[in-house]
Amino acid sequence: MTTRQSKSNGKRPAKVSKVRFGQGGELHQTSSVSDERLTTNHGVPLSDNQNSLRGGRRGPTLLEDMILREKIQHFDHERIPERIVHARGSGAHGFFELTKSLAKFTRARVLTEVGEKTEVFVRFSTVAGGAGSVDTPRDVRGFAVKFYTKEGNWDLVGNNIPVFFIQDAIKFPDLIHSVKMEADRGYPQSASAHDTFWDFVGLMPESTHMVTWAMSDRTIPRSFRMMEGFGVNTFRLVNSKGEGTFVKFHWKPRLGLQSTCWDEAVKIAGADPDYHRRDLFDAIASGSFPEWEFGVQLFSQQEADALPFDILDATKVVPEELVPIRIVGRLVLDRNPDNFFAETEQAAFLPTNVPPGIDFSEDPLLQGRLFSYQDTQLSRLGTVNFHQIPINRAKGCPFQNLQRDGHMQMQVFKGRANYEPNSLAEAGEIGGPRADPEGGFRSFQLPIEDRKVRLRSESFGDHYSHARLFYRSQSEIEQAHIASAFVFELSKVSLDHVRTRVLSNWRNVDEDLAQRIANGLGIELPAKSKAFVEPKDMEPSAGLRIVGKYPLTLMGRSIAILVTDGADGRIFKALVKQAEAEGATVKIVAPKVGGVMLKGGTKLPADGQLAGMPSVLFDAVALVVSEEGCTELLREGAATDFVAHAFGHLKAIGFTRECQPLLDKANVQPDEGVVNLTDNMDLFFTHARTRLWEREPVVRLLS
């Protein structure tokens, strides 16, 4: 396998650097041109830029790895003060309540004291875009929770996808550089549909699983309130006896897992760039508090060894059918920030923030994160004292140590002791705090006897089985969406060899998927790439789907009622009454923001004007119009789009008979989800609780 460089500017093409993969899929650079070899910032040539230094193939990453530290530290300091990744975020306050004790597995009080409510701050985010980008691009979403526990802050810093693109943190700067704006042109912003990202993906087979998730509807969520959350990495729980248990953390939304359609997400970006931020803020302000169940997957070392993959590999998912999820708590968000900058923007999350009883695994991605997050916060917030900013300050317990001074020090310390141990207390002076051997944090006692190596374990070498598992676990609808997403993204790639390499890799995932992508692009299917470990078939997991997982309810959903002058007030009132009784949000849309006059003379104010509140912003629409009103709407392009887009995005449409000419103009074809409100209003609400997936083949060509 070779990395190829293209000819440009009439210069002689660069010589090829060969890269080989070890028995377990690990990368080794075997030769390079002397004047093009990689070095540190100080000129030291590198023998391996693919693997961090660890104590044995599956051992922890070593602090002495100056290559990893220099690379990540440089990356962490590339942007000031905006976050390099997860720059666009939305936050809220709330609480975590434990409902089932895990005292058998951990001594962390936040996971053992049933009924205890712990204050939290949660930040949701997109990954690739800057702070000024939009809410709805196809992107991974961050799901970071700061618990203000009695034993210090616990930051569970995760995503809405349970796996990641890479296995080793040393590749994180390369991944983000590839997906960010291309270096010479500064675009595209918050989009993966471009050459450099797919070039990286094609050369890094370990990314195959995560990219398949990224092309699914998981990355175009309907709302932050309707996302799952995952801790991504494998952690350890440690009990009072010092015994360790591996753990995966899960958040499951009470409103179910819901997504948008791709075309809908694109149009929402233009209609309301702050769609998710507004949705979260408005839900909390109205008292419809978002809620998630908190679950854990627990397994011993022996159980982990019996799994057909390595649980230290962050590109692998643990199916619920193999290790069930135990629900042990709930998360409720019930208060919006008072100041966006002071709270949401200055919130600093660190995976290193764990209370006694929670510890880390040797996952090489996690090991790098433990260094990187602290370092990037020093750059972004400008001081080692960022923990004193109110949003980051420990609230469930005091914080006290002998660290002093530093930029923006906000505490006034008494006494002269700023070192430990000291004996000043014996003289009646302030001696300061001391370590707590019994109740303090103690690392899991992991035996380590191995050589220092830059290698990955052979158990990390299977790059395709889990991507195959994910794809084959999807419904036919979701499989079609994944194929179409690949076609869209790869159609934006201008380098033929990049598309070819990607398709070669995905033939190892699923032949049908690869062929659908090739057909959608109108190109020949290339030869299958060599797999370092032949993919295995795993039992499909229903837990990996979206379709069919969300509850059939109007809770958390929104309905737009398009009303004109002279409309029937009785139908309007009946719609509003039933929608609100079932927990839906109702918005009144009118041709003019001043509102309308219903039949009988009742003045009805509007929440928004037709062109400014398109149907993409709602889950279902109802059209309550008069004949004269319909005639006016027929001359308004925004009205036709309102109806056509609702139909095209698979939403329920309720209408009064006077609206039929508008339905005809919008080319709305009769089906179960297009309902005459006079005849059967209940049927409209039945379909408003979901999307009409069976309509999709009528409205769009899927790959």
Q: Are 268 and 470 in contact (CB under 8 A)?
A: no
Torsion angle of C-alpha atoms 376, 378, 382, 386, degrees rounded to 10: 120
Element (H, E) at 93: strand 89-98
Whether 86 and 125 have beta carbons less than 8 Å apart is answered as yes
Under 8 Å between Cβ of 14 and 33: yes
DSSP string covering 48-63, please?
A: -SS---EESTTSPBPT
How crowded is the C-beta side of 283, counted as CA atoms within 13 Å?
27
d(CA 162, CA 314): 8
DSSP assignment letter at 241: T
Q: State how far the Cα of 226 lies from the Cα of 255, in Å rounded to an integer.
A: 6
* Alpha-carbon gap, residue 667 to 653, rounded angstroms: 13
Tokens of 340: 């966006």
Sign of CA dihedral 18, 24, 25, 29: negative
Rounded to 5 degrees, what are φ and ψ at 702? -100, 145
Give the CA diameter of the chain.
93
User: 185 vs 173, 181, 327, 339, 495, CA distance in Å?
Assistant: 19, 7, 47, 34, 16
Cβ distance 235 to 257 under 8 Å?
Answer: no
* Distances in whole angstroms, Cα of residue 455 to Cα of each of 23, 149, 308, 514: 10, 38, 21, 31
DSSP assignment of 626-672:
-HHHHHHHTT-HHHHHHHHHHHHTT-EEEE-GGGHHHHHHTTPPP-T
Query: What does DSSP assign to residue 674?
Result: E
What is the enclosing helix (H) or strand (E) of 416? none
- Asked if residue 121 lies in contact with residue 146, where contact means CB atoms within 8 angstroms, the answer is yes
Three-class SS state of 119: strand
On whether the CB atoms of residues 675 and 659 are closer than 8 A, the answer is no
> Which residues are CB-contacts of 11 (< 8 A; sequence separation ≥ 6)?
none
The two tokens of residue 421 are 């141990």
165 within 8 A of 207, measured Cβ to Cβ: yes
Report the catalytic residues. 86, 159
